[in-house]
Amino acid sequence: MKRTFINTSIFSLGFFVFALLISGPIYGQKGKELKVMAYNIHHANPPSKPDLIDVEAIAKVINSSKPDLVALQEVDVNTKRSGVNLNQAKELASLTGMNFYFEPSMPYQGGGYGNAILSKFPIDKQFFHQLITEEKSEPRAILTVEVTLPGNQKLKFASTHLDFKSDAITALQAEDIVSYFKNDQIPVIIAGDFNAISASDAIQLLDKNFDRTCQGECPPTIPVNNPDKAIDFIFYRAHKDFVVKHHEVIVERYASDHLPVFAILSY
């Protein structure tokens, strides 16, 4: 009887361990990774070739890092400049195998111009918010999608591009962003071209309300040749811990006039 009980216990334990192995990691016990990119694509116009639109070059940069979520700025959709039949957001989604959301910040040359989001995950919800600006300034906006990550974690991911002519307006737009997300009860990631350095009022305000994937003086993102200033960032706010595992400015000098920012967070 005693030997039978021991054998039964060993069998039960072995079956339990086997079940764990085939079921994969248990959420909460092993962190999952989220790969995020911020990229001002300069309407897919390589600075060295002013008359060329090269969407494939932008897609190649994105595909090289295999991100889960991408915040794009300066995206053309059906404009005379880039091609009246070219929807850059849709084309980039096709070339990267991702879902997309585009909403124009402003009409431009018969089409639209603004921010876009690429997502490896299905987009559950999407939101558009026009940011505060001053009269005769270029309209600015923030796009947001809500997705469900592995482990059933809901997340809001946003792409934005702030004003570059006035530090005061840029700071007001940062304040607008803080207010816009203040009541969200799920994690938020905001990525983009903020047209402001770490010491600016705009970034300091965002730093008080979000975490950044880089601290202090982050690696520079402009100009592409001999970069000396960081204005492209990834911010996050998590009600459960996010841990930054990696932050990188990708050195790719052909496709755009900005270097893309790439980060890996675990959750």
Task: Give pLDDT, residue 30.
Answer: 57
Q: State the burial class of residue 88 (Cβ atoms within 10 Å of its Cβ: 0-12, 13-18, 19+).
A: buried
pLDDT digits (tens, 9 = 90+) for 51-108: 999 999 999 999 999 999 999 999 999 999 999 999 999 999 999 999 999 999 999 9
Residues of the chain with pLDDT under 70: 1-30
Scanning the structure block, which residue is given the tokens 């960081």? 230
Report d(CA 221, CA 209) in Å as an integer: 23
Residues 244, 250, 255, 259: what is their CA dihedral angle, to the nearest 10 degrees?
70
Extents of the domains making up the chain = 29-266
List of residues 6+ apart from 230 with CB closer than 8 A: 197, 198, 214, 217, 218, 219, 220, 221, 249
User: Residue 216: what pLDDT?
Assistant: 82
Rounded Cα–Cα distance for residues 75 and 96 (Å): 16
User: Measured between alpha carbons, how far apart are the two ends of the chain, in Å?
Assistant: 48
Could you give the CA distance from residue 98 to residue 89 in angstroms, rounded to a whole number?
10
Amino acid at position 65, single letter: S
Which residue matches tokens 């009860």? Answer: 185
pLDDT at 31: 75
115, 126 in Cβ contact below 8 A? no
Q: Nearest Cα to 158, choosing from 200, 88, 103?
A: 103
pTM: 0.88
Handedness of CA 148, 150, 152, 153 (dihedral sign): negative
What are the tokens at 40? Answer: 């001002």
Are the C-beta atoms of residues 58 and 44 closer than 8 Å to each other? yes
- From the options 1.10.1200.10, 3.40.50.1860, 3.40.50.2300, 3.60.10.10, give the CATH code of 29-266: 3.60.10.10
Query: Do residues 241 and 251 touch, judged by C-beta distance below 8 A?
Result: no
Q: Are 155 and 189 in contact (CB under 8 A)?
A: yes
Structure token pair of residue 236: 């996050």
Find residue 155's DSSP bridge partners.
Answer: 147
Q: Mapping DSSP to helix (H, G, I), strand (E, B) and coil, where does residue 8 land? A: helix
